[in-house]
Structure 1
Amino acid sequence: MTSNLAHARVLTALAFGLAATFASAQAWPTKPISLVVPFPPGGSSDVLARAIGDKLGQSLGQPVIVESRPGAGATLGADYVAKAKPDGYTLLMGAVHHTIATSVYKKLPYDFEKSFAPVTTIAMVPNVLVVNAKSPATDVKQLLALAKASPGKLSYGSNGNGTVQHLIGTQFASLAGVELLHVPYKGSAPLTTDLLGGQVDMSFDTLTPVVQHIKGGKLRALAVTTAKRSSTLPDVPTLAESGLKDFDQGTWFGILAPAATPKDIVERLNTELVKIIQSPEFGKRMAEIGAEPVGDTPARMAAQIKSDTAKYAQLVKEAKVTID
């Protein structure tokens, strides 16, 4: 009798727990959600955040407000979200840059693998080597000839010290045997402005902020940095095709929540986001900006973060990039 009573109590407790979880998932969200972008407006993070935010807001019945918190190679915005209340109302537009920051910054106030709950990867965006249309270099071979003729004179811009653009530049210079001048910016928008104005010679930025200028004839794409050509720029060769064997670097962007966010909220976010990402309408929008839609599981995104953290730790060590 006592055993049956204890069993009944356990079942009752489980039922209440499941009911509470279901109620939590049904109740959330009841107010606007903040999607923090750790870069200035105008770059790939911002463009993707606004594209996904509008659709997510419609799906959830609450507005998703894109909030820009740039600085320190995207780590300021990440720190803000890491310390936010884990209730599903503050999310991070994360990127591959955050896996690099783990090795670049000597002291980070958060642990990217432990302080966040991955939700889903939105898209993978190829990086592209671009120069001003007035540059005498029409291909990678000519650019390298110019660099070798004037060591340390040709400059390349990045989204900041320790970002993927910075490391692509160091890897490019190392493999090609040239010396380039690195010029860090706070984001893609100011970098692109200076590239168009001729203040910086080249960049390895993501395709999104420069594709319109490439198609408009103001910038010239010499190569993409991924193993495969971009479907947006099918005539532009890869760096591997241009002589830098096995070169394969790209930039992913995805959404993360603070680590202690309830699992049911993370799962609902993933479900709603994957529906949006895999829709034909969103796919068409991604094609316009040179992005490849992903839409994976939280576990798959976590595995990508772990893998990239290890990969970039090695590149950071080889490039000797450190920031206090």
Structure 2
Amino acid sequence: MQTPGFHPRAALTALALSLATCAAAAQGWPAKPITLVVPFPPGGSSDVLARALTTPLSQSLGQPVIVESKPGAGATLGADYVAKAKPDGYTLLMGAVHHTIATSVYKKLPYDFEKSFVPVTTVALVPNVLVINAKSPATDVKSLVALAKASPGKLSYGSNGNGTVQHLIGTQFSSQTGIDILHVPYKGSAPLTTDLLGGQVDMSFDTLPPVVQHIKGGKLRALAVTTARRSSTLPDVPTLAEAGLKDFDQGTWFGILAPAGTPKEVVAKLNAEMVRIIQSPDFRKRMEEAGAEPVGNTPAEMAAQIRDDTAKYAKLVKDAKVAID
């Protein structure tokens, strides 16, 4: 029985017009500036990667691509802003592994990371590094652990916020070494690095880009990288596994996402332009200097990465008993 007032032909015509409008809009995209939201303060890895990408992207698209910082709540505030933005390709998110962790850490998120966004491409993988102030008496992981055991609860480590990968690395490190260290959450790498240099916090497990120049300059001391392999940027720095911590392999990825519902043609164009830039010699050189490994994959590959990490970190979050209201 046909619902009163319902006309199949009219409905099909409306659908066809809607699809045609979307296709036309996609063909004319971009017709105005694009905003890339970075959910951390300026100066951190996400900001460094965003600016390295947006300069050539602006040139190739013929429109400005503006980096806008919206930090807070472990990168979830910026993500929520983009999730609620119009899905027209003009508002994008610099997402990170932190967002897959937040799914399990936060009891109530105003968005669903897997459903509220469409992946574009992973920009880069960045090793995390256990770093301390150069004035610390600790010279390696073993002596740092001994120092922490001598003064339980006195040493502190900073992170980019509650529920970020640095936070979980700290809980895993503390658990495996049997030490009691205080977690100090920050809004991002820049304020954390400032306090680490000033001695307000004793250590961090941050990504390489914000700290690599301070390490090379002798102000900070790198004790170990948290990934399974050593970093080509710091080849003399051992892994935590080499330092005696079993099955330790934690790193950070950063990638571009758009609000769910963004036209497929726009996502495809963004992916093609970004992958071309990411795989270029100039971008690769900039990433090597920053201690990052460029990726540039397909939306489907990034989506699989998000699914895998969401499941992986759900277990780590449960084991660490980390929860935020």
TM-score (norm 1): 0.94
Query: Match for residue 238 of structure 2?
Result: 237
What CA distance in whole angstroms lies between the structure 2 residues aligned with 1:314 and 1:245? 17
Q: Retained in 1: the 8 A contact 2:75–2:99?
A: yes
Identity %: 84
Amino acid at match of 2:53: I
What CA distance in whole angstroms lies between the structure 1 residues aligned with 2:178 and 2:313? 20
| 1:141 aligns to 2:142 (yes or no) | yes
Q: Spell out, residue by residue over 1:239-264, the C-alpha distance to the aligned partner (whole angstroms, 9 max, x if none).
A: 00010021000000000000100011
Amino acid at match of 1:187: G
Q: Retained in 2: the 8 A contact 1:132–1:201?
A: yes
Query: Which moves more between the two structures, 148-157 or 289-298?
Result: 148-157
Q: Spell out, residue by residue over 1:143-173, the C-alpha distance to the aligned partner (whole angstroms, 9 max, x if none).
A: 0111111111111000111110000000011
Q: Which runs of 5+ in 1 are unaligned?
A: 1-14
Query: Match for residue 85 of structure 1?
Result: 86
Query: Match for residue 291 of structure 1?
Result: 292
Query: Match for residue 9 of structure 2?
Result: none
What CA distance in whole angstroms lies between the structure 2 residues aligned with 1:26 and 1:162? 40
Map of 1:151-166 to 2, 5 A cutoff? 151-166=152-167
After TM superposition, give the deviation of residue 23 of structure 1 in Å: 4.2
Map of 1:153-302 to 2, 5 A cutoff? 153-302=154-303
After TM superposition, give the deviation of residue 24 of structure 1 in Å: 3.9
Task: Provide the secondary structure at the position in 1 that maps to 2:221.
Answer: strand
Q: Retained in 1: the 8 A contact 2:97–2:309?
A: yes
Query: Which moves more between the two structures, 18-27 or 108-117?
Result: 18-27
Q: Spell out, residue by residue over 1:170-216, the C-alpha distance to the aligned partner (whole angstroms, 9 max, x if none).
A: 00111111111111111101100000001110000000100000000
Q: Retained in 2: the 8 A contact 1:21–1:264?
A: no
Amino acid at match of 1:267: A
Task: Provide the secondary structure at the position in 1 that maps to 2:163.
Answer: coil
Change (3 A) 1:300 1:319: same
Q: Retained in 2: the 8 A contact 1:151–1:179?
A: yes
After TM superposition, give the deviation of residue 22 of structure 1 in Å: 6.1
After TM superposition, give the deviation of residue 26 of structure 1 in Å: 3.1
Q: Spell out, residue by residue over 1:221-243, the C-alpha distance to the aligned partner (whole angstroms, 9 max, x if none).
A: 00000000001001100000010
Q: Which runs of 5+ in 2 are unaligned?
A: 1-15
What CA distance in whole angstroms lies between the structure 2 residues aligned with 1:95 and 1:19? 34
Q: Retained in 1: the 8 A contact 2:26–2:263?
A: no
What CA distance in whole angstroms lies between the structure 1 residues aligned with 2:147 and 2:20? 67
Query: Match for residue 69 of structure 1?
Result: 70
Task: Provide the secondary structure at the position in 1 that maps to 2:111.
Answer: coil
Q: Retained in 2: the 8 A contact 1:25–1:268?
A: no
Task: Provide the secondary structure at the position in 2 that maps to 1:73.
Answer: helix
Task: Provide the secondary structure at the position in 1 that maps to 2:255.
Answer: strand
What CA distance in whole angstroms lies between the structure 1 residues aligned with 2:20 and 2:190? 47
After TM superposition, give the deviation of residue 20 of structure 1 in Å: 6.6
Q: Retained in 1: the 8 A contact 2:33–2:63?
A: yes
TM-score (norm 2): 0.93
